[in-house]
Structure 1
Amino acid sequence: MKNNTIITISRQYGSGGRLIGQKLAERLGIPFYDKELITLAAEESGFAEHLFEKNDRNITNSLLYSLSMYGNTMGLYDMPLNDKLFIAQSKTIQSVAEKGPCVIVGRCADYVLRNKPNVLNVFIHSDMESKVRRVVEDYGVESDNVVELINKTDKRRANYYNYYTGMKWGRAENYHLALRTDCIGIDGAVETLIRFIEAKNAEMEKEAAEAK
């Protein structure tokens, strides 16, 4: 299948979003980025990898406030560290997207690439029972307090996303497609995404032909 689509995947913890992204990238023959973005961002920016990894746990100052206070001419020098890290990571996301089709998991990629054509934004979610089972059986997490871990992880992801984008994590209007894996399964989600991409590309080709 000819594909020029960049797919961003936001997901609830334990919903299988990362696995879906991996399988989709393999089926389409395109690069997959998740934690790989941290390594790339660290190499390109000079910041240590562990700073990117914990940035979503330390949201304090507002990026928008920083920009309004310092203006575009001040660069990154006087910004809070967490905002510098977000900007550095965003540049890396934009850079890999410029290279061609790929699958990007998390890290507000849907927002970072909001002005880029040929982007498909997906949200993966599931019921709590399925998420608990996957976290325990597939992720190897001990069963004690798993529900609390899931809720805290999702709350942290929501806070990070809401803070940097000004939008609401998981809200339908922020995505092109939302899939519930307890209903459709991992492989079913991958097949649905492939069909969606095919239909989207066909529609774009039709519009381009009509515009000639």
Structure 2
Amino acid sequence: MKTVITIARQYGSGGREIGQKLAQRFSVPFYDRELIATAAKRSGWSREILEQADEKAGSNLLYAMIMGNNYPYAENAIASGRLPINDRLFQLQAKLIREAAEAGPCVIVGRCADDILRGKKNVFSVFLRADLTFRKERAVTEYGVQPESAAGWVAKQDKQRSGYYHFYTDEKWGDAENYHLCVDTSSIGISGTEQLIARAVELHENQTGQE
């Protein structure tokens, strides 16, 4: 595989597990929470603090800088500590995502990676959804959410991810126009989705002439 796979996902749809399976299948690096660890090491910030800020929208200042492609100014602002932690984390993660993509094929989950890498020939972007029952069950069994709180927790996480994506990309999270492939994981299962994406990536590479 020569492709960078980005996975955006509804909460509880299995994005992390599917991403890990794809990375194992193709023997490529996998990035999800691993980006937090790298960001903490590079910045010297506390990993715990970064985890609290992860995939949460920040300030209008960084958004304006990003939309205006004023990255040098943004990096200077980050270095000086003038931006909120959410914005500093997003900018650092965006830099790490670009570096990972430049280094070679990999799988990246969340964090607006599809938009950060948009337009690159070797990127294949996926959005994963699932019905509410499937996601509530995974919230309980995989993440330890209390059954009576599952529906509200799933809705809260989706709202947070949607707001984060729109804030930093000015695009609608989950809109099929923004992805190469959208899959309902509750209809074909985790393993089936992983196999489907793997096959789609192979077809994508053939179509775009990657060898």
Q: Structure 1 length as normaliser, TM-score?
A: 0.88
Matches within 5 A, 1:1-212: 3-55=1-53, 56-57=55-56, 59-66=58-65, 74=73, 75-76=76-77, 77=80, 79-81=82-84, 82-205=86-209
Whether contact under 8 Å (2:57, 2:87) holds in the other structure is: no
> Counterparts of 1:68 and 1:176 in 2: how far apart (Å)?
23
Whether contact under 8 Å (1:6, 1:118) holds in the other structure is: yes
Residues 44-80 of structure 1 deviation map (CA, whole Å, 9 limit, x = unaligned): 23332233222244634342335689x6664323742
- Structure 1 residues 128 and 78: alpha-carbon distance in aligned structure 2, compared to 1, 3 A threshold: same
- Report how far residue 154 of structure 1 moved: 0.5
Count of aligned residue pairs for this structure pair: 204
> Counterparts of 1:113 and 1:73 in 2: how far apart (Å)?
18
Percent identity of equivalent pairs: 44
Q: Which runs of 5+ in 2 are unaligned?
A: none
- Report how far residue 160 of structure 1 moved: 0.7
Structure whose alpha-carbon radius of gyration is higher = 1
Whether contact under 8 Å (1:62, 1:163) holds in the other structure is: no
- Structure 1 residues 58 and 9: alpha-carbon distance in aligned structure 2, compared to 1, 3 A threshold: closer
Q: Which runs of 5+ in 1 are unaligned?
A: none
Whether contact under 8 Å (2:19, 2:107) holds in the other structure is: yes
RMSD: 2.1
Q: Structure 2 length as normaliser, TM-score?
A: 0.88
Structure 2 residue matching 1:138: 3-state secondary structure: helix
- Structure 1 residues 174 and 141: alpha-carbon distance in aligned structure 2, compared to 1, 3 A threshold: same
> Counterparts of 1:13 and 1:140 in 2: how far apart (Å)?
13
Structure 2 residue matching 1:145: 3-state secondary structure: helix
